[in-house]
Structure 1
Amino acid sequence: MFTHLIPDTQAPVTQADASQRFMRLLQTAVTEGTLHKLLLSKYSGAEDKLERLTVREVVLRGERQLSFLWRYQTKDVTKNHAMGEGLALIQSLLGTQFQNAHLHTPSEEVQLAFSRKGKPSLRVSRLAPAEQAAAGAATSHDKEKQRYLSLQKPFWMDLGLTHELKGEPALVPAMSRKWKQINKFIEIFAAALKTSGLADSPDVHVADFGSGKGYLTFAMYDWLREQGKDAQVTGVELRDDMVKLCSTAAARHGLTGLRFDQGDVRSYTPARLDVMIALHACDIATDYAIHLGLRAGAQVIMCSPCCHKQIRPQMKMPKMLRPMLQHGIHLGQEAEMVTDSLRALLLEAEGYETQVFEFIALEHTSKNKMILAIKKTGAAAEAHAAARPELLSQIAEIKRFYGLREQCLESLLAA
């Protein structure tokens, strides 16, 4: 490792010289997209309980910004700034409120420190090739993970997703798969919102049924707020301990607009519902969730069904399929396919653009199918009336083919 040191005692180096050189290096890192992390520490300002500041680059609505994570003894506060504004703020803090600054890039580490008398020292440590490769890989990995969500948000620690490591929030190793799942969900959610009637809406009301420990509920709320939307997100969960855990975390971090209620999708009635989420609602609970979304006129419906029990006992094996469906596992798979196909067709008949695709395993189950429905608007909505009779005919034909008497969502809609 090659290290270049400008000591405190070197006469030609003034506070302005050291700060300006540090800022030039920071500006270069920002311009070249190589900023991994900037840590400001040794706080000496007047704000009570403020300990340090971490700065990273984020991309919000297609725009590069600097994300400032202000770490207090009892809370974290995140604020995002445009590049120029953020750099100006950093420069104003050096040597005035923070006496130590540590810049990390894939090729070097730069430390600016101020003595008690205000004299600066600037240390530039260039990384060896192997260290550069490792740092570059870590930086790339971090950027990929932070594309939609940031691990720096303090509520993740309350939910057990992160822990403190060397003074910084870090992903709990056992939760790495979960973190990938959460980000994948937000990726799908973001794309759905962009193509829905909510794309330009200033506020979005979301209900997450069966919210459990709240990972996705917090993630949706956080992502929507980062997009500048007034997010009103409710997690609905039967288990009282989960409701209390999530409610406490939301209140602790002042997340206005995020709430958790104890309730059942069959009886819960939100005042307004733009996005309906129901992941792993068992058997006909998925049908009740979809029906609630339809009744409320939700613009986006996202379901991950499981435990398909209603259709299988009704199915009469068509003669041509008996050699295949005589095996129980095949009959179960056929029942799942028929059930979700009927749900998708019913959603189409109600005016939704519907997709059924493999998602990624959530929680501790291999069920990874998702039904995504986006309410049609404009010309597509007008064309819906002409297509509806054909869709209903297809549903009736499938039921006749398999000898099905009843499908829950169809019955709910008929009622």
Structure 2
Amino acid sequence: MKLDHLDVFKTEIQSSLENNSFVKLSLGNYKGEIDALKNIYVKPIFIKRQPHLSFTYRYKTRDIVKNFSIIDGERVIASALEDGFQIATLTTTAEEFQFEIFKSGKSVLRKRLLNEVRPVENSHNRKKQYKISNSAANYLQELGLTDANGTVYSNAQDKFKQINRYVELLAPLINELKIEHSFNVVDMGAGKGYLTFALYDYLVNSLKKQAFVKGIEFRQDLVDICNSIALHSGFQNLSFEQGTIQDYQGPTDILIALHACDTATDDAIAKGILGNAQLIIVAPCCHKQIRREIENNKVVNDISFLTKHGIFLERQAEMVTDGLRAMYLEYAGYKTKVFEFISDAHTPKNVMIVGVKKNEESERLKQERQTKILASIQDAKRYFGITEHHLGGLLGAK
């Protein structure tokens, strides 16, 4: 091995770190003794306003991330280069260097100029790319989130991040549907409309979809305010309607219900299923009905040692309620996803349940599927002492 090539490569790394032109470093073709290690990726970051290097160690089945100071990071890089990695690529803001060791033991160092200068990105200076732009959104100003110039108020930063996170979650789910024609979105319990406006803005102005979005809200004053803002913003196909989940009778391709309390979430899911919605998205709030069932019946089972404690019983009731909701969706012909949803920095973690309507199936396959799932539902209810789940009653699937 020609150590002069390696020495020059190390010098380039050191220089790029000193003059702040270091963009990234990748080490590959590992032939060392660490089991299952494949690559190491290095990038600059800031921790407590101090520059550091973040190392991602990629193994066959997992990644491990370690952060080092610049000095310690240089030592780790030097050690790795001398201990099994046959290829290393350094990218700076203007150049790329590739060091390679061949089977013969000989080495080479290649250098090329980049076509354009690359910025150094790290957690300190990377700008967050939002789905919703605040620069030209009149509704954000009228909702009190931005000033006339589109600058987000300091006390509205969390809310702005919240609505963007919401759209980020929904965007891939909606895109998976591959809806070519116009479609109807219903937001049950729209409240002040922050999320409803943001979703409409994204669908119509970013994705260029022909979407009709309706927010259902019980409080008439909020309905009036939101309709006024929609009018001023030129959102022709966005409207708000006073009423409840049970009252709504319009067309529904996508149904959304966030933080509908207790059995109101069941009402929303049933409304979507019975309305043949292609996509159902709910983030349940409180689970009183099933907790009362478990408390009243006190079935003795393998987890009784947990449910005798109130806080564990509450958490168990949440999981059982939402687990059964997912099964009822599958019974109705939906593919389900359940994942964590954090609406903002001041709101506890929620579960988001998503149901995507599956393709049509034969009547025989449908009956077989429903019989199997219903048996699982009944087994679960017996195990926890549940005589009734509100959603099952609405669907006639007890």
TM-score interval w.r.t. the shorter chain? 0.5 to 0.7
Q: CA deviation at 1:137?
A: 6.6
1:161-204 deviation digits (Å, cap 9, x = unpaired): 2123xxx21112222222222122212211111222xx132312
Structure 1 partner of 2:127: 141
Counterpart residue identity of residue 163, structure 1: D
Note closer, same or farther for the CA distance 1:320–1:200 as it changes in structure 2 (3 Å cut): closer
Q: When the two structures are superposed, what TM-score results if normalisation uses the length of structure 1? A: 0.62
1:95-132 deviation digits (Å, cap 9, x = unpaired): xxxxxxxxxxxxxxxxxxxxxxxxxxxxxxxxxxxxx9
In structure 1, distance between residues paired with 2:124 and 2:285: 38
Counterpart residue identity of residue 228, structure 1: K
Once the two structures are superposed, the pairs formed by residues 41-60 of structure 1 within 5 Å of their partners are none
Structure 2 partner of 1:255: 235
- SS of 1:336's equivalent in the other structure is helix
Once the two structures are superposed, the pairs formed by residues 237-386 of structure 1 within 5 Å of their partners are 237-270=217-250, 272-315=251-294, 316-362=298-344, 365-377=347-359, 384-386=366-368
- SS of 1:311's equivalent in the other structure is helix
* Residue 172 in structure 1 maps to residue 158 in structure 2: no
Once the two structures are superposed, the pairs formed by residues 397-412 of structure 1 within 5 Å of their partners are 397-412=379-394
Note closer, same or farther for the CA distance 1:211–1:390 as it changes in structure 2 (3 Å cut): same
Q: CA deviation at 1:317?
A: 3.8
Correspondent of 1:396 among 372, 375, 378: 378
In structure 2, distance between residues paired with 1:232 and 1:339: 31
Note closer, same or farther for the CA distance 1:235–1:306 as it changes in structure 2 (3 Å cut): same
Cα pair 1:362 1:368 within 8 Å, conserved:
no
* Residue 181 in structure 1 maps to residue 166 in structure 2: no
Correspondent of 1:234 among 204, 214, 227: 214
In structure 2, distance between residues paired with 1:266 and 1:191: 28
Q: CA deviation at 1:378?
A: 5.6
Q: CA deviation at 1:239?
A: 1.4
In structure 1, distance between residues paired with 2:120 and 2:288: 52
Q: CA deviation at 1:379?
A: 6.9
Correspondent of 2:133 among 150, 165, 188: 150
Once the two structures are superposed, the pairs formed by residues 123-134 of structure 1 within 5 Å of their partners are none
In structure 1, distance between residues paired with 2:157 and 2:366: 42
Counterpart residue identity of residue 138, structure 2: P
Cα pair 1:399 1:405 within 8 Å, conserved:
yes
Unpaired runs of 5+ residues, structure 1, are 1-131
In structure 2, distance between residues paired with 1:223 and 1:154: 14
Structure 1 partner of 2:22: none
- Please, what is the CA RMSD of the aligned residues? 2.5
Cα pair 2:161 2:344 within 8 Å, conserved:
no
Structure 1 partner of 2:146: 162
In structure 1, distance between residues paired with 2:123 and 2:141: 26
In structure 1, distance between residues paired with 2:121 and 2:166: 28
1:193-234 deviation digits (Å, cap 9, x = unpaired): 1222xx132312001011011111111111111212111000
Counterpart residue identity of residue 161, structure 1: L
* Residue 195 in structure 1 maps to residue 176 in structure 2: yes
In structure 1, distance between residues paired with 2:286 and 2:159: 22
Q: CA deviation at 1:134?
A: 11
In structure 1, distance between residues paired with 2:391 and 2:127: 42
Q: CA deviation at 1:363?
A: 9.0
Percent identical residues: 40
